[in-house]
Amino acid sequence: MNINTLTDFLQQAQCQFRIYDLGRKVTKISNSAFQQVAENKQPYPYPIQQHAYIALTFWQVNKQLQDHFIWFLKLPVDEQGLLSITAQTSFIKMVVEAMGENLTGDISEDLQERLASNPFVFKPAAEKLAIFNAIMNTNFVRPASTFYPAALRYFSGQTRWSEWQELGIQGIADLAARLNYDNNQQTLINALPHLPQQPLQSLSLCLEHQHDINTDLATAIAQQAKAELKANHQENAILLLRALSSAPAVGISKALLEQQFNSDLIHNEHWYVCIAGRCWSMLEDETLLNRFFEALANHHPSLFPQLFVDLVAIPALREKVLKQLRLTARSPALSKAIGLLFSAAPQGEK
């Protein structure tokens, strides 16, 4: 049996599937796009540290939808962002050896356990797993977790704002994944000015994966980010910027980023890491990309090589990032950072 890619394997096993990126944000990748990626016809869209972190959920066609399985896979990508065929083939070989030759047989719990020691399998962080579970339940029209009602009561103001200690991240993730249910967008608009630091930060981390944030909620998040920065709560302001990183209201997100460029956040290295790691799509605007590199080179030059390598690996940004190297109008600090980048290149990546 000649099976080289994950999509070949799933088709042979008569499985339907969905793919989510778990490396940067929890983001669904269409089956057709992932087939192109698996066959090396296009690069993986969201690489991080030269790997694709994938959640693959699948179910056999002749079974109920509830009988689905999830593999969390960490697969290497090359310098062009192409997913390793060798790694896919090796993983599939291990699966076939564990299952026997009958790919259409039952996919047992025992197999799941045996695959846990597979070198291509990883365990997501608890927070990322909570968000993934919440998004999966919404996408497959399943109930929220038992933690959702408590989160709903808290963010609706039915309990004191100071009484957040019993909230679980799963409940907050459920709320963020259900923005179009239970009037949740308006609930969060009303709650934002009242939230203590911990629930505000947890909510922001859950919202950064959501594409359903409407314009009113995006506006409220941006306003809260400004208020937090005015109060010198820099980490809150950074996380609220992250909260907007998947929002459709790109104009609001970009305006907030532009305002933050003119603030003390340019001295905070977490802000740069946040932009590169979560808000990279805003940098598709070449003016903002140039401002980012200029600020980074002037205020945190030691971070420049790491974040440059991170951003140039993202297919949507690659050409724009490389174009920055050819700009003649740049500060001495940026010229020096780029020069150091090239001088360090022969030593290899760490």
| CA pair distance 72, 288, nearest whole angstrom | 34
Judge contact between 53 and 7, C-beta under 8 A: no
Residues 6+ positions from 126 with CB-CB distance below 8 Å: 169
- Per-position pLDDT tens, the chain of length 350: 578 899 988 888 788 899 999 999 999 999 999 999 999 999 999 999 999 999 999 887 776 555 678 889 999 999 899 999 999 999 988 887 776 645 545 656 666 666 667 889 999 999 999 999 999 999 999 999 999 999 999 999 999 999 999 999 999 999 999 999 999 999 999 999 999 999 999 999 999 999 999 999 999 999 999 999 999 999 999 999 999 999 999 999 999 999 999 999 999 999 999 999 999 999 999 999 999 999 999 999 999 999 999 999 999 999 999 999 999 899 999 999 999 888 765 444 43
| CA pair distance 39, 84, nearest whole angstrom | 9
Give the other-Cβ count within 10 Å of 330's Cβ. 18
| CA pair distance 46, 266, nearest whole angstrom | 25
| CA pair distance 320, 337, nearest whole angstrom | 17
Helix (H, G, I), strand (E, B) or coil at 91: helix
| CA pair distance 237, 277, nearest whole angstrom | 16
* Structure confidence at residue 73 (pLDDT): 95
**Tokens 């009602």 belong to residue:** 149
* Structure confidence at residue 347 (pLDDT): 43
**What residue ranges do the domains of the chain occupy?**
6-115, 126-347
For the whole model, what pTM was predicted?
0.91
Q: Is the Cα dihedral 115, 74, 207, 35 positive or negative?
A: negative
Terminal CA-CA length for the chain: 38
User: Which tokens is 73 given?
Assistant: 């896979």
* Structure confidence at residue 344 (pLDDT): 62
